[in-house]
Structure 1
Amino acid sequence: MKRFVLFFACLASFSLVAAQEVLNWKDNEIVSPIVNEDNSITISLFAPNAEKVELTGNFLYAGKDTPDKYADGDWHPQLMNKDANGRWTLTTPPLKPEFYSYNLIVDGVKITDPKNIYTVRDIGNRYSVVLVGGGVDGLYAVKNVPHGTVRKVWYDSPTAGLQRRMTVYTPAGYESNKRSYPVLYLLHGMGVDEEAWEELGRATQILDNLIAEGKAEPMVVVMPNGNISQEAAPGEGSKGLVVATTQYPKTMDGNFEKAFPDIIQFVEKTYRVKKDKANRAIAGLSMGGFHSLYIALNNPNSFNYIGLFSSAVNRMSKDGDTLSYIYKNVDEKFKTLCKKSPKLIWIGIGKDDFLSKDDDRLRAALDKESYKYSYLKTKGGHSWRNWREYLSTFVQKLFK
């Protein structure tokens, strides 16, 4: 009997040791990322068997006034340091307040930070994220203020022949009152979808905070899917868990612009929004700026506020064998739009943006009509860092 007791005691002891090995206490002790008092970030990984671990991220400014070698879209990995216990760490220089993205590269394999539960998807890539200092002017943080409501909404698009999904933000108090609100149609760039402005752009936090501070008017914000051949974001439509791609069929060929009235009709039927030009705005980044421009040019009586962020201009493609009427007679359409005197055309772009020549052509077209637009040129390139700032600036100028 004693032998059996001893056997089970040894078995229990062995099981406890095995469980401890599975739990890996050294790994559990790691916290990553850590935002330090000086706004530097320490990122750590327990990988005792790895030969090489690198950190890559959009830490563009690193406490400097101008971008360094960490350029948008060209992140250069930094080698992390390994200690005797198998822990890899790297601490960045002090960073400016911002919403940062990063990955780890373990022996050539890119991964998200296993200790960081916060990630975002950008097209087909997933990144770990960390918020430093609440972002620019603290606008990207969730604060103790009244919050709006975000819904994923399906609507019929007869023009596209699909049921399609979009994201709709209604401001704090919408559910408890009967007032009607102005509306901003906010469009994304190529490859992303109706989730982008909410997740990558921090649009919800920006709107909540600016409205609470009295710097922006309460408004409904409609964030549709700009890929007209797509029902919804990857994995959210009837085609199932499809792979995300940079460019979908019918990209920038006029079909999204043709179907846009379906969105306005649904919004104005479903939500308490004001239904006149003075209370409608449209804005977008990159491809979304392209769409915003041509929707406004083809509907000159529809929008009093137009925001063009790092906008593509002459990037249209043919619809089949022909160029859509949406993109024809552009000079005349610019003339008509400017004669209709929208209250604001607001343009923003980074000085290193690859679409700088498109920006030059856009402003030249407006200059030709002597239209006085607002213009902001920032540091950096074609990046969410800039587009979040542009949205923050633009919405403060709406519906005043």
Structure 2
Amino acid sequence: MNKNLLLSFLLLFLIGITAQAQEALFGAQQITSPEIHEDSRVTFRMFAPNAEKVQVTGDFLPTVKMETPMGEMDGPGSADLTKDDKGIWSFTTESLDPELYSYSFIVDGLKITDPNNPFLIRDVASVTNVFLVGEGQAALYKVKDVPHGSVTRRWYDSPGLGMDRRLTVYTPPGYEQSKEKFPVLYLLHGAGGDEEAWIALGRTAQIMDNLIAQGKAKPMIVVMPNGNVIQDAAPGEGSEGMYKPAFMIPKTMDGTYEANFMDIVKFIESNYQVKSDKTNRAIAGLSMGGYHTMHISRFYPDTFDYMGLFSAAIMPREDATNSVYSDIEGTLKTQMDNGYKLYWIAIGKTDFLYDANKEYRAKLDAMGMPYEYIESEGGHIWRNWRVYLTQFAPLLFQ
């Protein structure tokens, strides 16, 4: 091949590669979405010139009733975007309260993520975009210029479940350089979640960093296990590879997790600088995690001094036969007689588990079992559970 022809070919080839790279970098939609204004209004935009209808749906909008695997529940509403003469659709909210919000677009009936927002969170099998507005409560969810803790994923041996399993651990600022021993909060996720849920959706690391920096919470280790006993790790992170996460999987809430929970405690107390006594152990969880908290803490009635039930599922199914669920009232009485520092219950007024929690509190009242109760607005949502963590953590290990 002629030398000049070869050089020309190479030049054209490189130009093609460069153009393709530039298209990947700069050929995307060059618009800002979401745009957060100084007055806390938020504008969403999408370039879709051929679309007939574009909507945004998210937890910043009024709720609507939706059918879910747990029955009818409140879900996010939707709002229509308006198209301009350039094919850009847009919608601007009213001023929003400080909060971490999630949203998606609906384009001609198809729900998609915002191509201009790279910040995504997975909740069970749903992936949505997120954004933060304002200070106030939302300030606790932001990364601030304060000392930061560390987040690690660890694998532990669970003899009771016959496998190595993965969990997420937050250690407080300065842990690696310290010879001090720390108290531990075991923080449990809900149905469909895994060891990634609290650290991502719950903003646990940001909350703990900020509360500790403000002197509102004591430095502590936070352990976030996987409550699905047939999994060794979150979907995509374990030996089963990449598969679609499911809401209710086999052996969910059948007593197996509760019966083998001490495998986790033993691993933490053998591998971390922790105070391994009842006074320095706390356990809390949301929904299914609240269910696990209630049953683990009474099944091991002299193990935890602090319990937090966030929007908790309460009683086992009628067909549950695991010995963990035998003599519930008797083990609760033993837990009460052993003494503890805090039994904390929180739930939203419109939560579908509200009546179950009301009945449970009546049971505790009849037993004379002391507890603290928080009732918030809203339903079975992460917005509440993040707030509950910010309220519960400062009460621990005082």
- Could you tell me the TM-score, scaled by structure 2's length? 0.91
Q: Which amino acid aligns with 1:233?
A: A
Paired residues of 1:27 and 1:46 also in contact (CA < 8 A): no
Distance across 1 between alignment mates of 2:355 and 2:63: 23
The answer to whether the 8 A contact 2:64-2:74 is kept is: no
Alignment of 1:249-288 (within 5 A): 249-288=250-289
CA distance in 1, matches of 2:391, 2:237: 31
Partner residue in 2 for 1:370: 368
Moved over 6 A (4+): 18-21, 23-26
C-alpha separation in 2, matches of 1:281 and 1:370? 22
Match for residue 326 of structure 1 among 318, 324, 327: 324
| Contact 1:252 1:317 (C-alpha < 8 Å) held by counterparts | no
2:120 aligned with 1:119: yes
Cα 1:85–1:317 shift into 2, 3 Å? farther
The one-letter amino acid of 1:388's match is R
Q: Matched residue pairs, number?
A: 381
Provide the residue aligned with 1:360 in structure 2: 358
Q: Secondary structure at the match of 2:164?
A: strand
Give, in whole Å, the separation in 1 of the partners of 2:280 and 2:396.
Answer: 9
Question: Identity of aligned pairs, percent?
Answer: 51
AA aligned to 2:394 is Q
Task: Mark the runs of 5 or more structure 1 residues left unpaired by the alignment.
Answer: 1-7, 61-66
Residue of structure 2 aligned with 1:346, choices 336, 344, 358: 344
In the alignment, is residue 230 of structure 1 matched against residue 238 of structure 2? Answer: no
1:28 deviates by: 3.9
From 367, 374, 379, give the equivalent of 1:381: 379
RMSD: 2.4
Shift of 1:76: 2.1
Residue matched to 1:64: none
Q: Do the aligned partners of residues 20 and 286 (structure 1) sit closer, same or farther apart at CA in structure 2, a change above 3 Å counting? A: closer
| Alpha-carbon offset, residue 282 of structure 1 | 0.2
Structure 2 Cα separation of the partners of residues 201 and 155 of structure 1: 23
One-letter code of the match for 1:105?
A: I
Give the Cα–Cα distance (whole angstroms) in 1 for the partners of residues 88 and 283 of structure 2: 49
Distance 1:24 1:155 in 2: 41
Q: Quote the Cα distance in structure 1 between the aligned partners of 2:312 and 2:21.
A: 55
Deviation per CA, 1:16-47: give whole Å up to 9, x if none.
xx989967989643011111111111111111
> What SS class does the counterpart of residue 364 from structure 1 fall into?
helix
Sort the Cα spacing of 1:171 and 1:21 in 2 relative to 1 into closer, same or farther, 3 A.
closer
Cα offsets for 1:121-167 (capped at 9, x unmatched): 00000000001114615100000000000001100111011111000
Maintained 8 Å contact 1:26/1:46:
no
Change in 2 beyond 3 A, CA 1:115/1:368: same
In the TM superposition, what is the alpha-carbon distance from 1:381 to its structure 2 partner? 0.1
Name the CA distance, whole Å, in 1 between partners of 2:280 and 2:27: 57
| Contact 2:63-2:75 at 8 Å conserved across structures | no
SS of the residue aligned with 2:168?
strand
In the alignment, is the contact (CA less than 8 A) between 1:304 and 1:342 conserved in 2? yes
Instruction: Give distance in 1, aligned partners of 2:242 and 2:20.
Output: 36
Summarize deviations over 1:248-307 as a string: whole Å, max 9, x none: 110000000011010000000000000000000000000000000000011110000000
Please name the residue that 1:3 is paired with. none
Contact 2:132 2:138 in 1 (8 A): no
Q: What is the TM-score with the length of structure 1 in the denominator?
A: 0.90
- Looking at structure 2, the residues matched to 25 and 176 of structure 1 have their Cα atoms a distance apart, in angstroms, of 44
